Amino acid sequence: MPIIHVYGWKGLSDEAKRKIIAGITKVFTDMGIPKEAVEVIIHEIPKESWGVGGELASEKLRDFRPP
Amino acid sequence: MPIIHVYGWKGLSDEAKRKIIAGITKVFTDMGIPKEAVEVIIHEIPKESWGVGGELASEKLRDFRPP
Amino acid sequence: MPIIHVYGWKGLSDEAKRKIIAGITKVFTDMGIPKEAVEVIIHEIPKESWGVGGELASEKLRDFRPP
Amino acid sequence: MPIIHVYGWKGLSDEAKRKIIAGITKVFTDMGIPKEAVEVIIHEIPKESWGVGGELASEKLRDFRPP
Amino acid sequence: MPIIHVYGWKGLSDEAKRKIIAGITKVFTDMGIPKEAVEVIIHEIPKESWGVGGELASEKLRDFRPP
Amino acid sequence: MPIIHVYGWKGLSDEAKRKIIAGITKVFTDMGIPKEAVEVIIHEIPKESWGVGGELASEKLRDFRPP
């Protein structure tokens, strides 16, 4: 407790994952939660499986690259 | 808002994904939600990771193919 | 199969839920999936538990009402 | 994109929710993601619906209070 | 690790929750996972928010009661 | 109903998946739920996408192997 599921686009570097996990964990430790209690799961979703405004993100947001 | 997570079996064509995303988005725009507000995430699950009635779908429903 | 989790704001009428469930189910039956195989779960989230752009939706989008 | 689901124990104050939402959003804006693209959903779970080590958190961790 | 999200209908007794949490945890400890590593979250969904075969479970499966 | 989402580390054998699916299903059939109603979805997450205590599980728990 807490458990955090992050859904973003496929292609995150390990460095980006490290920042996401460390950053989100710190939000909770700053509130007094022990860091061992925080679990963060990153789900990388292919852009062709993500719809925004009724269209595939792979077609609508062709040029966006995950960090 | 809203956010929709769809869990189905692996192997969907891009055409099938387009239909799922457009169709689900339309359900909400028909109710007056702006289409840009609708996000649909499709999670493709291997049949050997999906259990129905206590058995792997890959063994129990061997002949089913996703659209 | 498939399983669909819908996350929206609290306060949907039963009529709105009926439309969401019937509409999403039809997306899949139109693709040849038997209707009994489709499960839709609606999660109603209080606006003060939903963040958009770093703020609570209850403060940022005060006037929006769910259908 | 991204979408973040947070699961914690019931009883968070609005102030705690504000910190969670602002803090998690900042993790992503620090990586160059526009803040409007970040959606955070907080799910408050009753302690008697959360199991740790095979026991209800309401019994095992009786004295813990959410921030 | 592992984290298990259970979605069922609202109205489970604490005794039923205890059985679900103890039973699922045992599945993993039987495989050699330490019990402290297993977290189980039960989400109780109102029957009028759950669709089966395109209809609300509250209308279609009126007589079913959760254990 | 019920639907169970299991999140664990990537690399489960088919035999381990069979045990997870059969075991979790049995928890519910023991409570009187018909087995056909139980769906279990296993999500295998790469260890470098899973954070524990603010660090990647791939770095912190390097030697752990899934069953």
Whether the CB of D27 is below 8 Å from some CB of chain B: the reply is no
- Dist. CA F60–CA B17, nearest whole Å: 37
pLDDT exceeds 80 at position F63: no
Q: If we measure between CA atoms, which residue out of E3, E11, E35, F51 comes closest to residue D60?
A: E35
Stretch among D63-67, E60-64, F15-19 having the lowest mean pLDDT: D63-67
Interface present between E and B (3 or more CB pairs within 8 Å): no
Q: Is residue A7 part of a domain?
A: yes
Instruction: Answer whether residue D65 shows pLDDT above 80.
Output: no
Q: Residue D50 maps to which CATH number? A: 3.30.429.10
pLDDT at position B63 over 80: no
Residue F65 lies in a domain: no
DSSP code string of F12-60: --HHHHHHHHHHHHHHHHTTT--GGG-EEEEEEE-GGGEEETTEEHHHH
The whole-angstrom separation of Cα C54 and Cα D26 is: 7
D contact test, residue of E15, E21, E35, E44 with most D CBs within 10 A: E21
Under DSSP, the state recorded for C56 is E
Answer yes or no: is E65 within a domain: no
Q: Among all residues of chain A, which has the CA nearest to that of B4?
A: A51
Which residues of chain F lie closer than 8 angstroms to E1, CB-CB? 7-9, 50, 52, 57
Tens-digit pLDDT profile for residues B47-57 = 999 999 999 99
CB contacts, 8 Å: C7 with chain D? 41
Residue F13 pLDDT level (bands cut at 50, 70, 90): very high
pLDDT tens per residue, range D16-31: 999 999 999 999 999 9
Expressed as residue numbers, the domain containing E36 is: 3-60
Non-local (6+) Cβ contacts of A62 within 8 A are none
* Mean pLDDT, range F7-22, rounded to an integer: 96
Q: Is the pLDDT of residue A54 over 90?
A: yes
| Tens-place pLDDT, residues B1-41 | 899 999 999 999 999 999 999 999 999 999 999 999 999 99
Supply the Cα-derived Rg of chain B in whole angstroms.
14
The model's pTM is 0.95
Neighbouring chains to F with at least 3 Cβ pairs closer than 8 Å = A, B, C, E
pLDDT tens-digit readout, C22-44? 999 999 999 999 999 999 999 99
**Residue F49 burial by Cβ neighbours in a 10 Å radius (0-12, 13-18, 19+):** buried
Is residue C65 predicted with pLDDT exceeding 80?
no
Instruction: Tokens 């996401």: give the residue.
Output: A20
Within-domain flag for C66: no
Is residue B9 in some structural domain?
Answer: yes
Mean pLDDT (whole number) for A25-52: 96
Whether residue D67 has a cis bond before it, omega within 30° of 0 = no
D6 contact A CB<8A: yes
The answer to whether residue F37 neighbours chain C at the CB level (below 8 Å) is no
Query: What single DSSP character describes residue B53?
Result: T
C50 inside domain: yes
- Is A21 within 8 Å of F56 when comparing Cβ atoms? yes
Over residues D40-67, the mean pLDDT reads 89
Instruction: Give the Cα separation of B26 and B40 in Å (integer).
Output: 11
Average pLDDT over residues F39-53: 96
Could you tell me if B50 lies within 8 Å of chain F, comparing CB atoms?
Answer: yes
What's the domain count of chain A?
A: 1
| E54 is a domain residue | yes
Query: Is residue B66 in a domain?
Result: no
